[in-house]
Structure 1
């Protein structure tokens, strides 16, 4: 039997970051994932990317993986341009105005996973189990036992469920969850434009939902996330690549010239999830297992990494009462409050910016224009966006 301090189920970016931080703190950790080990990027851009905030960048730097991530097609964005299609409203930020070299980075998720995985393979306190499934989880007052489909069982002082939005561990321990359908589907793909992106992250609010243009390493390539009503998403997915490219170009008013689709299109429904309880004895939730949020502000990955950062800190700073109820309750209390705030903020933005009601259009246009012209308030908005707060 493997006896370790923390077992993490889920080898996504958040689970891997938590495992690496704990191992570096001298805490023994085992990570289980049913999928293959992370691989280096290929020539083609991956469809799934994240806008990494400065706070997340700081975490990666502390974990010693930021240089490796930077070397894997991480793209800094120095400007943000947000517009409302139905009004004249627009707000623009730049790193220069905030004395910053950049506002954040657009990074393919697999680049982050591979950098974290490579670092973990060098940590003596970490044991990695990919292509591994557990059969049963049994919890006592002091330990959690995982029996595996193959291999030795694992006994841990703490089990971290980082197993995604449809977390099986969350279901097993009957941790209640609130959710609602955003009534949006997100289409993601890679496009090439005739004009360079100028290291600018762009977002246009359309009546059916927001369209984000995110700069990639090649100055003519962008990752797009088009969140729209289900029927509209279905119609867009049924289009040829040529017609879809024309629809994108029209939606964003050809800010970067003509568009060409160069990646496979993927679509998935958007649902808000929020676990009302993140803790059951020695089992805690993290990342998408605890919360999912609309991608319109690019906060999903950053919220999960904030979960990981706090749990690392609390366990590292309280080794004498390792994984005590008081320590785990502090993690739950703090991260629940932050998730609640961001979920409410995203719902408010989505409600304000969808639809073509004349009053909404007026509020959007006047509001964005006023913020853009008021320096201190604009700087506050920018800092909130780039720091992931």
Structure 2
């Protein structure tokens, strides 16, 4: 039976980053993941799933050695963020105002994961179990015994293997199996809306701005993507609306959807050509606790947030950094780093910050979807006031960027 200091379940962006960050502290780490990421080829089409990687997340990915590879592949920096409901209330955030060269980068989720896996594959402290899944675990006084199903092409049922660990990390997403096995409950709700992701060619070449316009039915957003297309550049459009409307839009042909976009999106979008599309429901989930004994929840296993401001994966990377700091501090102070009372410091560092961001996004969502003319007037005055109080505006921007 193999023994590890830490077992991370889930090898996505947050799981891979947490495994690397702990391995860099000298801990032996196992990653359990259901499938390995597909390798990168520059001829591959842009994925639909992208993230706005903040400055704080960029710093973490640099520390973990993944950022140089991402720069060699493809990413799109953005310097400005525009927000408005009516054009008269247009508010723009600029990296210059917080003395930064950019606010973040739009990067495909799969490439972030793949760049982290490249570091994992060469790290002597990390062992990969993939494809594999966790069937059960038992926490004893001095160790956790984890039962895995190791899958293979030769055997349909897979083989059962047991490993032991001092710390079990659930980074296996919003429907976390480890969270369920640990009997950790969640609170939350469905927003009764869906988001449609639409990759398009744009008349304009690559831009340095991402923007969002609010409607009562939900916002529409523009995210610049890297590369040059036949039309000019590329972008990701995000269309929030009621579930039935997104279902209708998803059933349209690319040409029909293109016509709908040109009618509903602002003129600043210019001419576009739809090349890919997909949709997902909006949900809000928050685990009742991030810790149970020596089991910890990170990323979407602990919290899912309204994606309106693109903070989901950035909150997950903040979780990773907080856990790394807690364990590094314990090791440095000659404490037993895997004691529950030490691990509880992770939740103390992250729960309030995550809840604050989730509540802020929920408040924005509720405010901009409210039909009252008085509320509508109030929110547009609020956007105008943001331009008149640059100190508060820049404070909010710096917080969102993690600087």
TM-score norm. by structure 1 comes to 0.95
CA distance in 1 between partners of 2:59 and 2:366 (Å)? 32
Aligned to 1:123: 123
Report matched runs for 1:141-290 at 5 Å: 141-149=141-149, 150=159, 152-218=161-227, 220-263=233-276, 265-290=277-302
Deviates more, 1:373-382 or 1:139-148: 373-382
1:381 deviates by 2.6
| Contact 1:194/1:258 (<8 A) preserved | yes
Whether 2:312 is the aligned partner of 1:311: answer no
| Contact 2:79/2:94 (<8 A) preserved | yes
| Contact 1:136/1:147 (<8 A) preserved | yes
Q: Given the alignment, which residue of 337, 354, 379 partners 2:352?
A: 337
1:124 deviates by 0.5
Following superposition, which runs of at least 4 residues in structure 1 exceed 4 angstroms of deviation? none
CA distance in 2 between partners of 1:112 and 1:35 (Å)? 15
Deviates more, 1:351-360 or 1:46-55: 351-360
CA distance in 2 between partners of 1:104 and 1:283 (Å)? 32
Q: What is the alpha-carbon root mean square deviation over aligned residues?
A: 1.6
Classify 1:260/1:355 alpha carbon distance in 2 versus 1 (closer, same or farther; 3 Å): farther
Aligned to 1:91: 91
Whether 2:73 is the aligned partner of 1:64: answer no
Whether 2:396 is the aligned partner of 1:381: answer yes
Classify 1:387/1:97 alpha carbon distance in 2 versus 1 (closer, same or farther; 3 Å): same
1:334 deviates by 1.9
Residues 302-333 of structure 1, C-alpha deviation per residue, up to 9 Å, x if partnerless? Answer: 00111111111211221331211122111112
Residues 230-278 of structure 1, C-alpha deviation per residue, up to 9 Å, x if partnerless? Answer: 1221222122212322322333312131121112x21111110000111
1:38 deviates by 4.4
> What are the ranges of 5 or more consecutive residues in structure 1 without an aligned counterpart?
none
Deviates more, 1:88-97 or 1:99-108: 88-97
Aligned to 1:46: 47
1:339 deviates by 1.3
Aligned residue-pair number: 386
Residues 200-222 of structure 1, C-alpha deviation per residue, up to 9 Å, x if partnerless? Answer: 11111122111121111126211
